[in-house]
Amino acid sequence: MERQLATILAEAAAAAPGIQTRPDFDEFKARISGPNGALTAAMRGMAAMPKEKRPELGKLLNQTKGEVEKLLGATLHRVEQNETAARLGPPIDPTLPSPDDLAGSLHPLTQVREEVVGVFRKLGFTVAEGPEIESEWYCFDALNTPENHPARDMQDTLFMPAGTRCADAPRHGDEAYLLRSHTSTVQIRTMLRQEPPIRIVAPGRCFRRDTVDATHSANFHQIEGLWVDKQVTLRDLKSVLDFFVREVFGTSAETRLRPSFFPFTEPSFEMDLRSPNLGRLSNRWLEIMGCGLVDPKVFENVGYAPEQWTGLAFGVGLERIAMLLHGIDDIRHFYANDLRFLRQFAS
């Protein structure tokens, strides 16, 4: 019996390296451990062995079975690898250049965002970020927007289901969470994080419960700006925004500030733009952004001394700028991923 088992193992080990295909493997396996296989025969032979030798032989049999299973497993693994390699075809050289010469390009909104950020960078602004899911406090209360303001209405804003928590905004108690309706939240986050002076722009995605049409999207992008320092004045606001408009729309562009209202600025303005370079929109006053001087109440809310600090802030829609710059007539083009549209902006 001992010899029989040793022979089975030796023969199997000798044959295994030659097994390359599935049918060979099946046959190999059947020859050893199938119903008519050598190992099965050895097991049956146990009954004829003298009783006192059986425990020892049983142990040896189990050992041999274990070895054979290992051998079968390794052989099957090799056979499967062969099959996979056959399916994949000849090996690929990943160092060869791609046969597809379409390198891809930046989305027009990304291009405009980078351009706008680049303009403000020249004026010493850095980029700040904040989360897209916000607590009501960051989105409204801290920005001096009262409880009964329409923006806080379910009709206007995308609130999260009750009980939703935002990881880094639990400090203001049991409040609702929402998809931020503007990037002004980043003003608050930045001021809480650092001391003035501050000069940041915060590009990012915003969300509103808007019905989608040529000029509305429930999901859009803004760039927020905030400059806090001693003695920031309206003159600074006008010159910063004029610089921005001329850099982006050309030196022949003109601007005007129209009085308006935002809870977080006092005074507040809408800025209009007029340019001879805008195709069918040339030489018409076009509203492009909200802006103003930071309301002292906002400074109070973030723990800055309102008598000591002054600031300017603005918020501009990225889609709006891109549409004006490129004469795009429908905001939905930005999100449709139609290559015929996107390729026009490929460099």
* Beta carbon of residue 347, minimum distance to ligand DAH (angstroms, whole number): 31
Q: Is residue 319 at the binding interface for ligand DAH, with CB under 6 A as the rule?
A: no
* Beta carbon of residue 116, minimum distance to ligand DAH (angstroms, whole number): 14
* Beta carbon of residue 279, minimum distance to ligand DAH (angstroms, whole number): 26
* Total number of residues that touch ligand DAH (CB under 6 A): 11
Among 64, 184, 275, 310, the residue binding ligand DAH under the rule CB under 6 A is 184
Q: Is residue 313 at the binding interface for ligand DAH, with CB under 6 A as the rule?
A: yes
- Looking from the CA of 53 toward its CB, the CA atoms found within 13 Å total 10
Q: Is residue 315 at the binding interface for ligand DAH, with CB under 6 A as the rule?
A: yes
In angstroms, the Cα distances linking 184 to 129, 193, 238 are: 11, 15, 19
Beta partners for 204? 222
Q: Is residue 182 at the binding interface for ligand DAH, with CB under 6 A as the rule?
A: yes
Cβ neighbours of residue 47 closer than 8 Å, sequence gap 6 or more: none
How many C-beta atoms surround the C-beta of residue 108 within 10 A? 22
Beta strands in the chain (DSSP E): 126-127, 133-135, 177-179, 198-207, 219-229, 254-262, 265-274, 286-294, 310-317
Among 33, 265, 275, 301, the residue binding ligand DAH under the rule CB under 6 A is 265
Q: Is residue 190 at the binding interface for ligand DAH, with CB under 6 A as the rule?
A: no
Which string of x and - marks every residue 214-233 that binds ligand DAH (by CB under 6 A)? ----------x---------
Beta partners for 287? 272
Nearest Cα to Cα of residue 272 among 293, 249, 255: 255
Identity of the residue, 38 or 291, whose beta carbon is nearer to ligand DAH in the bound complex = 291
C-alpha 26/C-alpha 30 separation (Å) is 6
* Beta carbon of residue 151, minimum distance to ligand DAH (angstroms, whole number): 8
Among 120, 207, 220, 262, the residue binding ligand DAH under the rule CB under 6 A is 262
* Beta carbon of residue 321, minimum distance to ligand DAH (angstroms, whole number): 14
Q: Is residue 108 at the binding interface for ligand DAH, with CB under 6 A as the rule?
A: no
The residue range among 58-66, 276-284, 307-315, 331-339 that interacts with ligand DAH, by the rule CB under 6 A, is 307-315
Q: Is residue 109 at the binding interface for ligand DAH, with CB under 6 A as the rule?
A: no
C-alpha 327/C-alpha 313 separation (Å) is 27
Q: CA angle 80-86-88, nearest 5°?
A: 105
- CA torsion through residues 86, 87, 93, 97, sign: positive
Which string of x and - marks every residue 273-302 that binds ligand DAH (by CB under 6 A)? -----------------xxx----------
Task: For residue 53, give the amino acid letter.
Answer: K
In angstroms, the Cα distances linking 199 to 7, 120, 172, 282, 286 are: 83, 9, 26, 32, 26
Identity of the residue, 68 or 198, whose beta carbon is nearer to ligand DAH in the bound complex = 198
Binding site for ligand DAH (CB under 6 A): 182, 184, 224, 262, 265, 290-292, 313-315
